Amino acid sequence: MAALESPQPATATAMRHAFGNVLSVLILVLIGVLAFSIRLFSVIKYESVIHEFDPYFNYRVTQFLSKNGIYEFWNWFDDRTWYPLGRVIGGTVYPGLTLTAGTIWWVLNSLNIPLSVETVCVFTAPVFSAFASWATYLLTKEVKGSGAGLAAAALLAMVPSYISRSVAGSYDNEAVAIFALIFTFYLYIKTLNTGSLFYATLNALAYFYMVCSWGGYTFIINLIPMHVLLCIVTGRYSPRLYIAYAPLVVLGTLLAALVPVVGFNAVLTSEHFASFLVFIIIHVVALVYYIKGILTPKMFKVAVTLVVSIGMVVCLIVVAILVALVASSPTGGWSGRSLSLLDPTYASKYIPIIASVSEHQPPTWPSYFMDINVLAFLVPAGIIACFSPLSDSSSFVVLYIVMSVYFSGVMVRLMLVLAPAACIMSGIALSQAFDVFTGSIKYQLGGSSNSADDAEDTNNAPKDDAAAGKTDKGEETVKERSSKKGKKKEREPVEKPSIKSKIKKKALVLPLEASIVALLLLIMLGAFYVIHCVWAAAEAYSAPSIVLTSQSRDGLHVFDDFRESYAWLSHNTDVDDKVASWWDYGYQTTAMANRTVIVDNNTWNNTHIATVGTAMSSPEKAAWEIFNSLDVKYVLVVFGGLIGYPSDDINKFLWMVRIGGGVFPHIKEADYLRDGQYRIDSEATPTMLNCLMYKLSYYRFVETDGKGYDRVRRTEIGKKNFKLTHFEEVFTSHHWMVRIYKLKPARNRIRGKAKKLKSKTSSGWSSKSAKKNPWI
Amino acid sequence: MAAHIGIFAVVVAVFLSICAVSSAQDLQIVNAERRIDLSSHIVKAFLTLKVENIGKNPAPEMLLAFSPTQIKNLAMVQALAITGKKKKKTYLPLDVKPTEQPDAPNDTGYYRVSFASPLGPGETVSLEVLYILTHSLEPFPVEITQSESQLVYYHDSAVILSPYLVKQQTTFVKTPSTRVESFTSIEPANRAGKEIKYGPYENRASYSYTPVIIHFENNSPFAVVEELVREIEISHWGSLQITENYRLTHGGARHKGVFSRVDYQSKRSVSGASSFNALLAVLPPRVNSVYYRDDIGNISTSHLRTGFRKSELEFEPRYPLFGGWRATFIIGYRVPLEDYLFEASDGRRYLNFTFGCPLVETIVNKLTIKVVLPEGSKDPSAVLPFTVNQDLQVKYSYLDIVGRTVVVLQKDNVVPTHNVPFQVYYTFKPIYMLAEPFMLVSAFFFVFVASLAYVHIDLNIARK
């Protein structure tokens, strides 16, 4: 795209501008189509279906919304999950995505376009990635002109990191949140560049949408204050900065508090304190600038000494109050996930449930290359381009990339926040490089172009942003910024940077051959990026993960076991039966099987999850009692040993032990490990071989091949022939990936033993200590 | 109005009772042979009757009697008159209608067969009657485990229930396998292989009833569609889109206890003998865009064989169905319009499509066929060879404004014999086809005009 865009000769005639605008719009439309269509691989290769885990929950919520309306949705108490606690969905969910898809569905249906809720949900993410790339265009255009904008938009349209979260069917918060994030940043920069209250209000609304959509909004509410602070510290304070920031904090905080899931957190938790602190600082600074304006320098000095001494006292008091407030909350007012951002080792030390999620792990180096590919090399160039010359807006994107690089290094999931920043930077870098190379080619080929450049320089100054369109070449924004400043004060600085840039331009003329070779190399780099992105979209990120395929000699083999079992549950069990499984499968069970689950992917109650973990790691009888006390009728385990599906429950089992042991100390991780090694073969510990998870996974497994060879662990299982006494197999899917067991009813009590048994059961499983259960 | 109907009903009833009384005295069945086929869960009974008029007046019709349990499960009765001798036999379909008799003993139900020409005194006629019963095999034991095979009861009478004297009769019952646990023996009765023979019995008076129970093994798939909604959407742009919503269940003995995949996969012959996991749907030829899915997505286990005369879709539900298990799924396909839509001589158009359920050997408890006519079509009317409940609805689909007329045909207890063509007539002006493209074109036009206007109008209050 950039290759198409940059060589456009920019003359001052209106016709050319109109043509350029039309071309830009056309390119943007094509970028939107590209962003949408590259995400359809999943539909073409698999089917139009909701993916993975969380999207199923969102889909279910959307179904509820479209069926019952918005008021029922806010009041929705979901009794089908976290049995017997339930969950208040309306107050614990970020409603942005659901409301967006619900609104789209409603609009379409009122136009008599009878798309199903599922179809709307599946295609929400691709549609919003098109929006996100347009927002990227706008943002980058504000920073470095529309050439860079188009390049950045094209890069973002197909950046693998974003594709991984927004393929068709990946109906997750991030799908709309990335658009909201970029758009909020765009409006912030726009306000910063124009000083318009109109944009400031829009900015607060965009921020509101972001708060509705994703917990990642804290990134915005911390990044923008940081940038404001940076501007103040570097002496770039201006009224535009004030207009960009103060309304955002006031309106944004008020609006954010309207979202039930945030509520008073918008003023109470530490994540938001930075914004208030900076809010105070910017007012102090604004006041200082104002006083400086009306006082004589001498009076001002006196005033400064006065204010500083009083101000210090006030500040100390405020800081003391803040510290007291923060210290009074147990985690220092920070949520676990945020804490693990600041201290990457926090989660693995204290909260196994956060650490157990693979997307909360730090990424590896290859994953950077996989997810942002050549952008990783272009980013430094982009940063340099942002520094020459530095403006308010370019300093913002520099800050953005620095922060997001840090966060992505902590949590692989936040690579998603890095992707737009990397795209913007690379877009700037590419655009600048193309500029320099094509400019020097033009210069080498004929001297006339040089005079055209000069003409452009002189013409650019009086133009406003809208008309400037795509003609600008980097220095345009600088001039604009300085010209705005110039209006207020003196005209002098206007000349300086433009002269500077002219000098720079002359110096940057490269030899013709070098330019051509460099251009070709850049195009190759872009081509490589495109190839990689298409490959990633097609091969790596399109699998819906509820249906697996494998390519064998006799064609494609489909493993549809998950849906097989969910369909079985949904049609052949009672509608109020409770199903226990590890929390990974909670959302899917409620959405696809419509059965009540004990725990699900919204891991809000650690104790409850630990209870299920304890049951899975306990011997059969104790597990039966735990499950029975929870009114569980069916237990579902995922087993990959027959076909070699690696992410099954046996491989997740250690997390169950850890999380269970974290709350119920009689479960000890060491009991399940032989010499620190996790194994299920004949060397495994008796605790391991007797625990419920082992038994439910391998029940009658030996009869399949006579040996019980586990294809995931690549070993024969330790205990081969055993019977279940308290559970019975009621369903096993075609490839054994999902096994469902039913709790046998309690045995009739024999008269004499009744009392004894009763005392035993009431003594409870939780009080039983580490020693093995005597009645097994 | 109500009074009129009441009077009319009384008159009809009186008339019918006179007819019935007269013909009951006038007719007798000289010879009857009944063959009951119990090999699947759809019970088919073939009656060969030789009817003689021994009265003085010509008899225009005769009655077939059914016990109350049978009449409830009776899906279909067909009658043919045989004329000519052995080589030149011709069959003439006769009109069969359910009817009420005021003096029916013990809630006996009746069907009236109208002869092609009234049977004169002393004349005889040979009839072939086919009737089909559903839900008439009662599983016993009611619950079975995976390793047991399914045993069922069949209740009937050893002699044919008839309002007429039956001079001579024989009944043959065909069971699916040689395994018959027990059967009520009414002498003379004997069993040979898969066949049980009752009779011959002679001179049984009218309304004779000798209950018998046959307890035998039947492992054929008891595929029962509890509800089937077929939506046939006519698009005059050239295709017919059919969407079929199935709610399938296994109607046999309920599954009890464990389902073991290991047993099911390794010992297929003895384990889950009565379960089924493959179904066959017979679809029209030239079918395209076939899909098979359910609420949670595509189901990958299906094969389509398109043929010249018919297409066959062989598919499996997500999991094998054991007794009492349920599954829901949707089958959708598209067929070219020109094969099914014709223009009648009076200018109306009519859709000629097959009634019933495309699945072979299944019972449909409740079948609803919705024919969605194109927007703007008028005066719909349906023509069917049997009675169904008819209704009209309105459906709004892509960009509709007035909505599409939907002809709803609803029938209970449908068996494969109901797969006969039916017609829906309607009038339609082709100009309506252009309504939606025109709407879209104008909508885009206005969008462009509006954006053009927006660009050219200066909305600023202050002059720059």
Do B165 and B306 belong to one domain? no
Residue B8 is assigned to a structural domain of this protein: no
**Do B328 and A571 lie within an 8 Å CB cutoff?**
yes
Per-residue pLDDT of A179-229, as tens digits, reads 999 999 999 999 999 989 999 999 999 999 999 999 889 889 989 999 999
Residue B326 is assigned to a structural domain of this protein: yes
Res. A766: pLDDT tops 70: no
Res. A762: pLDDT tops 90: no
Q: What angle do CA B353, B359, B360 make, to 5 degrees?
A: 110
Per-residue pLDDT of A406-417, as tens digits, reads 888 888 888 888
Q: How far apart are CA A645 and CA A735, in angstroms?
A: 10
| Final residue before a domain boundary, out of B172, B201, B217 | B217
Q: Would you state the pLDDT for residue B401?
A: 83
| Final residue before a domain boundary, out of B217, B236, B257 | B217
Residue B402 is assigned to a structural domain of this protein: yes
- For residues A141-161, give the mean pLDDT: 91
Q: Percent of chain A, pLDDT > 70? A: 83
- For residues A628-651, give the mean pLDDT: 89
- The ranges assigned to domains in chain A are 194-333, 558-743
Count up the domains in chain B and report the number.
2
**Do A563 and B296 lie within an 8 Å CB cutoff?**
yes
List CB contacts of A194: < 8 A, sequence separation 6 or more.
A240, A465
Taking phi first (over 0 means left), then psi (-120 to 50 degrees means alpha), and beta for anything else, what does residue A136 get?
Answer: alpha
* Side-chain half-sphere CA neighbours of A263 within 13 A: 6
Q: Would you state the pLDDT for residue A638?
A: 92
Which residue matches tokens 């010359």?
A389
Q: How far apart are CA A98 and CA A121, in angstroms?
A: 9
Do B154 and B72 belong to one domain? yes
Residue B376 is assigned to a structural domain of this protein: yes
Q: Would you state the pLDDT for residue A363?
A: 81
Do B151 and B271 belong to one domain? no
The lowest-confidence range among A259-268, A440-449, A497-506 is A497-506
Q: Would you state the pLDDT for residue B34?
A: 92
Q: Would you state the pLDDT for residue A348?
A: 62
**Chain A residues closer than 8 Å to B257 by CB:** 728
The lowest-confidence range among A463-477, A660-674, B200-214 is A463-477
Res. A1: pLDDT tops 60: no
Do B213 and B296 belong to one domain? no
**Chain B residues closer than 8 Å to A116 by CB:** none
Do B291 and B209 belong to one domain? no
Res. A456: pLDDT tops 60: no
Nearest CB to B300; choose among A558, A565, A733: A558
For residue B51, give the 3-state DSSP assignment.
Answer: strand
Where is pLDDT greater, at A482 or B266? Answer: B266
Residue B461 is assigned to a structural domain of this protein: no
Per-residue pLDDT band for A533 (boundaries 50, 70, 90) equals very high
Q: How far apart are CA A34 and CA A133, in angstroms?
A: 10
Per-residue pLDDT band for A494 (boundaries 50, 70, 90) equals very low
Write the CA distances from A87 to A68, A82, A91, A493, A602, integer angstroms: 17, 7, 9, 60, 10
Q: Judge whether B289 and B296 are in contact, CB under 8 Å.
A: no
**Chain B residues closer than 8 Å to A560 by CB:** 299-300, 318
Per-residue pLDDT of A233-249, as tens digits, reads 888 888 899 999 999 99
Q: Would you state the pLDDT for residue B22?
A: 47
Q: Would you state the pLDDT for residue A5?
A: 45
DSSP string, B191-227: EETTEEEEEEEEEEPTT---EEEEEEE--S--EEEEE
**Do A47 and B298 lie within an 8 Å CB cutoff?**
yes
Per-residue pLDDT of B45-69, as tens digits, reads 999 989 888 888 888 888 888 988 8
Q: Would you state the pLDDT for residue A345?
A: 66
Q: Would you state the pLDDT for residue B103?
A: 78
For residue B394, give the 3-state DSSP assignment.
Answer: strand
- Determine the residue among A63, A734, A738, A740 to mutate to test chain B binding: the one whose Cβ has the most chain B Cβ atoms within 10 Å: A734
Residue B13 is assigned to a structural domain of this protein: no
Nearest CB to B258; choose among A114, A568, A729: A729
Of the candidates B193, B65, B227, which has an alpha carbon nearest to the alpha carbon of residue B131?
B65
Per-residue pLDDT band for B213 (boundaries 50, 70, 90) equals very high
Q: Does the reported pTM lie above 0.90?
A: no
**Chain A residues closer than 8 Å to B325 by CB:** 568, 571-572
| Final residue before a domain boundary, out of B202, B217, B232 | B217
Of the candidates B350, B104, B101, which has an alpha carbon nearest to the alpha carbon of residue B234?
B350
Nearest CB to A730; choose among B259, B266, B294: B259
Res. A449: pLDDT tops 60: no
Per-residue pLDDT band for B300 (boundaries 50, 70, 90) equals confident
DSSP string, A532-555: HHHHIIIIIS---SSSEEEEETTE
Q: Would you state the pLDDT for residue A14?
A: 79
Res. B108: pLDDT tops 80: yes
Of the candidates A186, A183, A143, A21, which has an alpha carbon nearest to the alpha carbon of residue A481?
A143
Options 3.40.50.2300, 3.40.50.12370, 2.40.50.140, 3.40.50.12610; CATH for A558-743 is: 3.40.50.12610
Where is pLDDT greater, at A629 or A5? Answer: A629
Nearest CB to A113; choose among B297, B326, B398: B398
Average pLDDT, chain B: 86
B247 to chain A: nearest residue by CA? A571
* Length, in residues, of chain A: 776
Do B263 and B399 belong to one domain? yes
Q: Judge whether A140 and A474 are in contact, CB under 8 Å.
A: no
The lowest-confidence range among A72-81, A397-406, A701-710, B164-173 is A701-710
Res. A713: pLDDT tops 70: yes
Do B183 and B263 belong to one domain? no
**Do B396 and A734 lie within an 8 Å CB cutoff?**
no
**Chain A residues closer than 8 Å to B316 by CB:** none
List CB contacts of A677: < 8 A, sequence separation 6 or more.
none
* Strand pairing category for B254-255 and B143-144: parallel
Do B235 and B169 belong to one domain? no
At CB < 8 Å, which residues of chain B contact A? 257-262, 266, 294, 296-300, 318-319, 324-328, 396-401
Q: Would you state the pLDDT for residue A297?
A: 80
List CB contacts of B390: < 8 A, sequence separation 6 or more.
B382, B407, B408, B409, B410
Res. A356: pLDDT tops 80: no
CB atoms within 10 A of CB A360: 20
Res. B1: pLDDT tops 60: no
Residue B258 is assigned to a structural domain of this protein: yes
Q: Judge whether B128 and B48 are in contact, CB under 8 Å.
A: yes
Res. A453: pLDDT tops 50: no
Q: How far apart are CA A583 and CA A80, in angstroms?
A: 14
Do B258 and B143 belong to one domain? no
B327 to chain A: nearest residue by CA? A571
**Chain B residues closer than 8 Å to A729 by CB:** 258-261
Q: Would you state the pLDDT for residue A717?
A: 86
User: Which CATH number do you get for residue B143?
Assistant: 2.60.40.1730
Q: Would you state the pLDDT for residue A741?
A: 92
Q: Would you state the pLDDT for residue A539?
A: 86
Res. A767: pLDDT tops 90: no
Q: Would you state the pLDDT for residue A137?
A: 94
Per-residue pLDDT of A738-752, as tens digits, reads 999 999 888 776 665
Estimate the share of chain A in helix, then strand, then coil, as percent rounded to the nearest 5: 65, 5, 30
- For residues A605-613, give the mean pLDDT: 88
- Is-cis flag, bond preceding A511, omega within 30? no
* Domain encompassing residue B132: 27-217
Do B304 and B417 belong to one domain? yes
List CB contacts of A17: < 8 A, sequence separation 6 or more.
A467, A469, A471
Do B176 and B231 belong to one domain? no
**Chain B residues closer than 8 Å to A736 by CB:** 261
Q: Judge whether B233 and B353 are in contact, CB under 8 Å.
A: no
Q: How far apart are CA B448 and CA B464, in angstroms?
A: 27
Three-state SS string over A137-167 comes to HHHHHHHHCHHHHHHHHHHHHCCHHHHHHHC
**Chain A residues closer than 8 Å to B261 by CB:** 729, 731-734, 736
**Do A571 and B266 lie within an 8 Å CB cutoff?**
no
Per-residue tokens: A721 = 């022939």
List CB contacts of A23: < 8 A, sequence separation 6 or more.
A5, A8, A470
In sequence order, the β-bridge partners of residue B192 are B195
Where is pLDDT greater, at B331 or A16? Answer: B331
Q: Percent of chain A, pLDDT > 90? A: 27
Q: Would you state the pLDDT for residue A603?
A: 79
The lowest-confidence range among A13-17, A649-653, A668-672, B175-179 is A13-17
> Which helix (H) or strand (E) element contains residue B360?
none
Buried b (16+ CB within 10 A) or exposed e, A741-774: bbbeeeeeeeeeeeeeeeeeeeeebeebeeeebe
Res. A129: pLDDT tops 90: yes
Q: Would you state the pLDDT for residue A341?
A: 65
Q: How far apart are CA A396 and CA A418, in angstroms?
A: 14
Residue B394 is assigned to a structural domain of this protein: yes
Q: What angle do CA A246, A249, A254 make, to 5 degrees?
A: 130
Per-residue pLDDT band for B400 (boundaries 50, 70, 90) equals confident
Do B192 and B270 belong to one domain? no
- For residues B205-227, give the mean pLDDT: 89
Per-residue pLDDT of B136-148, as tens digits, reads 888 988 888 888 8
Per-residue pLDDT of A294-329, as tens digits, reads 888 888 888 778 878 888 888 889 888 878 877 776
- For residues B317-345, give the mean pLDDT: 90
Q: Judge whether B335 and B245 are in contact, CB under 8 Å.
A: no
